[in-house]
Amino acid sequence: MNFEDKLIMMPGPVPVAPRILRAMSKPMINHRGDEFAEIYDDCCNILKDVFNTQNDISVISGSGSAGMEAAIGCTTNNNDNVITIENGKFGERFKLIADRYGNALPVESEWGEPIDLDKVENLLAEGANSVAMVHNETSAGVLNPAKEVGKLAKKYDALFIMDGITSIGGDEVKVDDWGVDIAIAGSQKCIGAPPGMSMVSISDRAYEAMENVDNKPYYLDLEAYKESLDKDKTQTPYTPAVPLFYGLQESLHIVNEEGIDNRINRHRTYSKAVRNAMDAIGLEMYPTLDENTQYSNTVSAMSAPEGVSGEDIKKDMLKRGIVIVGGQERLKDKIFRIGNMGNLTHRDILITIQELETILHKRGIISEVGAGINAANDILDSL
């Protein structure tokens, strides 16, 4: 099957709208000139609404992991302690980054299980400098309590660094209200642009912390990005990926046209439709919830039914032209995941559910098809 005929239902990268692809084909411009400054300013103005922040926003030509490293590397000295909350693969990545620049103090839960806020508070009380958390952990399909962690960080005067790579633009994120000092978004997720860019909001407190850091990264130095933001012609400190800026600007115009509240509601409705379908056909959601933890609203993680692995389902779906993903590392074979990020439609959700039902029926997991589609439609009709 031609790759152009496949339906991408992954937790990123996501399908890119034709108008974004067309925007990326525009001629090159001077990245130190007026035209680029106008594009960058336009992106930042829209992103402030998307992030719900008045803080500076810098755009890095590098994926979300670049933003994560910038956040940790620019605020952490060798002897600083960074609490890293881990209940999935990307929380684990924060731990690995923190250990490169300082001392990681991991608060670990099994992937997909709730985090222990008491442990976080105990480490903050002992004097940790910062706390880093993944808001929406796509590896396990779980939404972590950013607001509550922000309150704890503020109580103990610690920096709060939040990976919002797969929530910003698709779920409620209130950077300023939650006290997030550095928040990171990824271009290829809910915003619907191609991969390769991270958008980073930085508070005044974070900038102050950077003044005392001895060994900041070079390319990912957020102070250098601020200096470039503050020039008469807004620019980046190093050569940006100009075509990706074209694409980012166009994708943000699409976000603006839809309205961020409508976009969030659409993402939430699509994820609820998937979950409703799973319940109707008897598949269990993977994450474990508590009073502070929710299912992700941008990707659904399901336990593989008995006798079939998550990889089997992924391969069967691919043969039918639908690209979903299985579990990562310790969750390989145990789960499969369906993304609902970006500029998707009702039709995309329904086709995915229909093909999944057909596969499960052929494998003898369900006795008939249709329950999932009907259950998903019940939710989609409310949008």
**Which residue's entry shows tokens 């390769």?**
196
Mention every residue, 6+ apart, whose C-beta is less than 8 A from residue 238.
61, 219
- Average of per-residue pLDDT across 188-195: 97
CA distance 71 to 62: 13
The rounded distance, in Å, linking the Cα atoms of 239 and 379 is 45
Closest listed residue to residue 210, CA positions, set 40, 10, 56, 9: 56
Domain ranges, ordered by start, for the chain: 3-12+259-380, 19-256
pLDDT, residue 5, reads: 78
Give residue 243's pLDDT band: very low, low, confident or very high (50, 70, 90): very high
Question: To 10 degrees, what angle do helices 64-73 and 89-101 make?
Answer: 40
CA-CA distance, 314 to 10, in Å (whole number)? 11
How many CA atoms within 13 Å lie on the side-chain side of 218?
1
The whole-angstrom distance between residue 278's C-alpha and the CA centroid of its chain comes to: 23
pTM of the model: 0.96
Q: How confident is the model at residue 4 (pLDDT cuts 50, 70, 90)?
A: confident
pLDDT band at 383; cut points 50, 70, 90: confident
pLDDT for residue 2: 63
**Partners of 1 in the beta sheet?**
none
The answer for residues whose C-beta is within 8 angstroms of residue 325's C-beta and 6 or more apart is 10, 11, 314, 336, 337, 339
171: which strand partners?
A: 168
Per-residue model confidence as pLDDT tens digits over 78-105: 999 999 999 999 999 999 999 999 999 9
Is CATH 3.90.1150.10 the right assignment for the domain spanning 3-12+259-380? yes
The string of pLDDT tens digits covering residues 276-313 is: 999 999 999 999 999 999 999 999 999 999 999 999 99
Cite the beta strand spans of the chain per DSSP E. 7-8, 56-60, 81-86, 103-108, 130-134, 136-137, 142-143, 159-163, 182-186, 198-202, 294-295, 299-303, 322-323, 325-326, 335-339
- Give 28's DSSP letter: P
pLDDT band at 3 (very low <50, low <70, confident <90, very high): low
- d(CA 161, CA 179) in angstroms, rounded, equals 9
pLDDT in tens, 30-82: 999 999 999 999 999 999 999 999 999 999 999 999 999 999 999 999 999 99
The CATH class, in words, for 19-256 is alpha beta
Is the Cβ–Cβ distance between 131 and 83 less than 8 Å? yes
